[in-house]
Structure 1
Amino acid sequence: MSRFLPVLLFFGLSAPLVFAQQTAIPNKPTLTVSLEPRHVKDGGGYVQGQIVLRVQLVSPHPFDRLQLNLPAIANVRTLTLSPPQTREIHNYGLEGYLYETRLALFPEQSGMLTIPSVSVAGAVAVGSGRKEPFAEVNPEMLVTIKPIDPAYDAPWWLVADAVTMTEVWTPPPEELRVGDTVRRDLTVTVYGVTAQHLPVIEQPLNGGYAVVGSETTMKTDLTPDGVIATLRQFWALRVESEDIISISPIQLAFWDPAAGSMASASLPAKRIEPLPRDPAARRAQLMSDAITAHRNRRISLFAALSIPVLGLLALIGALFYKALPTRADRRLSQACIANATPAACFRAVTQWSHDSFGTGDRNLIKYLQQTFGGEAAERLNTLQLALFSASDVSAEPKRLARSLVAAARRQR
C-alpha cells in the first residue's frame, strides 16, 4: 500500500492543477472554437444529428471593441442557441471576461462537413486609457458526417441524444365501463432534435376499443446546450367490449449517436378490465340525453317561430313610428292656433318645412304645393291669398296644419 501512496498523492495534487489550467484566465485574448457532443469530435456526426458549435473568447481585460467573423456553413441548417454576449468570469481569485456564442448545426447531407475558419479582432482596455489591439483566428475544421446507418430499421430517421416519455390516463382505467371514453395524454421530450424532425406517433388498434378523437401539438425550445423538442399527443379511446382489453404500447425508435446504435423509448401496454354495466346509470344517462334533446328541439322551434314574429313586429313598429308626429309636426300644430295671423302661419310653415325637408324660404309655398298636391296644396293656396289678398280671407290655421302633417306622413 505504501508503494502506491506517492502515486495517489501525485494524482490528488495534480488533478486540481490540471483543472486550474483548463479554466485559467489567459494573459491575452484567446479564441476557442469547439464542437459538442463528444462523439462528434471522436467519430463524427450523423445526417440531421445536432452539432453544437461553441465560440469563446476569453480575455483578462474588458473588451473595448470586438468584431466576430463567423462565416456561413454550407449544407447545414443553423439555429442560434445563445446570441453573442459578454460576461465577467472569476477563477481562483482572478477576474476575466468571456465573449461567447453557441450555434446548433444540423447537417443535411453525409460526407465531409467543412466548418470555415472563425476569426475575431478588436481591442481590450488594459488600463490608464490604453487600448491594446488583438486578432485571433481558429483554423478550418473538418467533421465526418455519416449517412443513415444500415442497422436502423425504423421507417423514420431520427437522431437524438435522449428521449423521455410520460403519459396520463383520464379517468383512471380501473373506473371504466363499456361505452366510456378514456383520454390518454402522451408527452414526448426529445433532446437534440427540433419539432419539425419528429415523426407522427400513432395509437395502434387492438380489439375492444376505438379511437374517437386525437390532437397533436409540438414545440421547440432553444437552450445553451442544444435544442429540445416536445410533443404533446392525446387520444380519446372508447371502450366497446366487456372483455379484458389491452391498449397497445407506444414506441418511438431513434438513433443514439453517442452509442452508435439504434435505441427506443416506449410506454407499456395498458390492461383494462371494464366494470359491469350499470343499468341504473345507463337509464339515467339516456333520460338526461332525451331531456337535453327535447329541450334543444323546443329552443330550435321557438327560434324558428320567433323570426317571422320579430319581423312582423319590426314592420309594425316602423309603420307606427312613421305615423307618429315629429317634433316639427308638433311645433307646427302648436303655432297654427285658431287666432294665428297669416304671417304667423307662414313663419310656422317655413320653419316646419326647413326642419322636415331642409328647404329654404324661396318659392316655399309653390314647392310644397307641387310636392304634396291635394288638400295640402289648397290649404297653402288659401294661406297665400290670406297673406297677399286685399280681401279679408281666413288662413284657417288648424286645418292648414292638419293637411300639411297628413301629407308629410304619406310622403314618409
Structure 2
Amino acid sequence: MATPAQAEIEPGDLTLTVTPERNGNAAPFAREMVLLNIHGVYKQPILLEEVVQPTLANFSWTQLGRDRWSRTKLKDGQSAIAFDRVIAVFPHHAGGFTIEPFTHRLTVNEGGERRVVDIRSEPIPFPVQPWTKETGGPDVAEPWWLPARDVTVTDSWSPDPETVKLGESTRRIVTIEAQGMVAEGLPPRPVMRTRGILTFAGPVTRETLITPSGPVARVTYQWDVRPGVPEIIPLDAIAIPWFDTVSRTMREAEIPARQIGGGLAASETDLAPPTTASPLVAAAAGLTAFGLGLALIGFGAGAGRMRLPARTRRALKRAAAAGDATAFRAQVGAAMQAEPDLARRWRENPGTAAGLAALDRAVYAPAGAGKPDLPGLARALSRAERFAVPPDRAEERLKPLDGSA
C-alpha cells in the first residue's frame, strides 16, 4: 500500500526567535544577568536536531535547565512542535554589542526524504550601559557587585551566642539568597572579626535553583566562634549592598549585629560555697533521683530526644500565622543546617517530607503552586523527635586551642 507523501516545507513552517528578558526593560550594566529565551515553532516532524550557538564574544553565559519540547496550537488551529531553551548571559563590560543569530539545525522528512534545514534567528542589538554613579558599580572591587531582583539574609546560631561562656563555642550559619542570578555571582565569605573572639571559618556552599520565574542563587557561610575574654563582646552588623534590577536602585541587606558571651566560666556565684540543704530537701532529692533512675532503666539506655529551640519554634509559629511562606522557609532552612539529625528525621517522615515539598513549591514555584498548610507544618516540625541513640555532636565542635583538659 502506498503511503501519503510528506508535505513540502513552506515559508513560516519552521521559525526560531531569540528574545532577551531585560531587567526593568532597561539596558543592563556589566555583569548583570540577562535571560535569552530561545523559542522554536515547527510544523514539520523533527527527526534530529542540534542548536548551533554563536560565540557570544564579550559575554559569559550558562544554560538554565534542560531543553523543553512540547505540543502547541497555532492561531490558525494547526498543531506544531515547540522548542524552548533559556540561556543566562553576563556582559563583561559596557558598550554596544550584538547577539549574533542562533542556528537550529533540523533533520526533517520532506516528500519521503530526509533533509537537513538550518533555521536562524535574527541578530539582536545588545547595548550595555556604563555605571555613572560616584561609588559602587560592576568595575570596582569593593563593595561586591550584586545585581538581583531580591536578596534575603538568614542568620542562625547554635547555641545562642548570648549564652556562650568563656571556653565554649557556638556555630554561626549565614545564608544569602538572591533571586535572578546564579550562585557564582554571590559575594565571597564576609570577614567576621572583632576584639575578644576567635573565629574558625567553615566551608562555603553554593547552589543555583532553577524555578519557573528564573534562577535563585544561594550561598551558605559557616563559622565556629569562641569568646576569648570573659566580658560581653558586641559583634557589629555586616552590610551587603546590592543592586535592585527591578527598580534600578542600590539597596542594602544586613547580617545582623549580635552579642557574644555574658556568662563567666567561674563567676562569683559559681565560686560561692554550696548551701547546706535541709533534711526534707535532701530526702526529696534522693527520692527524685531514685525515681529518675528507675525511669531511665525502663526507657532504655542510649535513648534521647531532640527538639528545635524555643525561639525557632516561635518564629515558625509567627510566620505560619502571618501566612508568610518565604519567612517560614528561611527559618526551616536555617534549622535544617543547624540540626542535620532533625532534618534527616523530617525527610524520612512522609508527612513532614510532603509538607516541606509543598513549602518549596510555594516559595520557588509560585505560579500555579498550591498554598501549603503552614500551621500544620509548624506543629509537625516543633514536635520533639526520639532517637534510639542520641546524636553525638561532640565531634562537630572544635578542639580547645590549648589541647584536651
Smaller-chain TM-score range? 0.5 to 0.7
> Any conservation in 1 of the 2:149–2:244 contact (CA below 8 Å)?
yes
Q: Which moved more, 1:260-269 or 1:130-139?
A: 130-139
Equivalent position of 2:102 in the other structure: 118
The SS at the match of 1:185 is strand
Partner of 1:163: 151
Deviation per residue, 1:30-79 (Å, 9 max, x gap): 3221112443xx32111111111111112345323445443211111121
- List aligned pairs for 1:158-307, cutoff 5 A: 158-207=146-195, 209-221=196-208, 223=210, 227-272=215-260, 274-278=262-266
Identify which of 48, 68, 71 aligns with 2:31. 48
TM-score normalized with structure 1 length: 0.52
TM-fit CA distance, 1:90: 6.6
Alpha-carbon offset, residue 100 of structure 1: 1.9
- 1:291-329 CA distances to partner (integer Å, 9 max, x unpaired)? x969xxxxxxxxxxxxxxxxxxxxxxxxxxxxxxxxxxx
Give the secondary-structure state (helix, strand or coil) at the position aligned to 2:187.
Answer: coil
Q: 2: distance between equivalents of 1:261 and 1:232?
A: 25
Alignment counterpart, residue 15 of structure 2, candidates 19, 30, 43: 30
Q: TM-score, normalised by structure 2?
A: 0.53
Q: Deviation per CA, 1:132-183: give whole Å up to 9, x if none.
A: 9876432211111123442443532232333221121011234222333222
The answer as to whether partners of 2:39 and 2:82 remain within 8 angstroms in 1 is: yes
The answer as to 2:60 corresponding to 1:63 is no
Among 38, 55, 63, the residue aligned to 1:80: 63
Gaps of 5+ in 1: 1-25, 284-288, 295-412
Query: Do the aligned partners of residues 260 and 149 (structure 1) sit closer, same or farther apart at CA in structure 2, a change above 3 Å counting?
Result: farther
Give the whole-Å Cα distance in 2 for the aligned partners of 1:82 and 1:181. 41
Aligned to 1:104: 88
Q: Report the counterpart of residue 337 of structure 1 in structure 2.
A: none
Alpha-carbon distance change, 268 to 219 in structure 1, aligned in 2, over 3 angstroms: closer
**8 Å CA contact retained: 2:162, 2:259:** no
Query: Structure 2 stretches of 5 or more lacking a match?
Result: 1-10, 137-141, 273-399
* Alpha-carbon spacing, 1:38–1:28, altered in 2? closer, same or farther (3 Å): farther
Structure with the higher fraction of residues in helix conformation: 1
Q: Cα deviation per residue 1:352-374 (whole Å; 9 max; x = unaligned)?
A: xxxxxxxxxxxxxxxxxxxxxxx
Tell me the number of residue pairs that the alignment of Structure 1 and Structure 2 aligns.
Answer: 258
* Corresponding residue number in structure 1 for 2:128: 145
1:199–1:80 distance in 2 versus 1, CA, 3 Å: same
Query: Any residues of structure 2 matched to 1:356-395 within 5 Å, and which?
Result: none
Distance 1:116 1:182, change over 3 A: same
Structure 1 residue 97, shift from structure 2 partner: 1.8
Q: Residues of 1 paired with 2:98 and 2:65: CA distance?
A: 22
How big is the alpha-carbon RMSD for the aligned residues of Structure 1 and Structure 2? 3.8
Residues 293 and 178 (structure 1), Cα distance of their counterparts in 2 relative to 1, 3 Å cut: closer
What amino acid does structure 2 have at the position aligned with 1:105?
V
Q: Deviations over 1:220-275 (max 9, x none)?
A: 42637655443221222222445443221132212223222212221321135613
Deviation string for 1:332-363 (max 9, x for gaps)?
xxxxxxxxxxxxxxxxxxxxxxxxxxxxxxxx
Q: Deviations over 1:64-106 (max 9, x none)?
A: 3445443211111121223445333479997542112221111
Q: What is the percentage of aligned positions where both structures have the same residue?
A: 22
Cα distance in 1, alignment partners of residues 192 and 199 from structure 2: 13
Larger radius of gyration between Structure 1 and Structure 2: 1
CA distance in 2, matches of 1:146, 1:99: 31
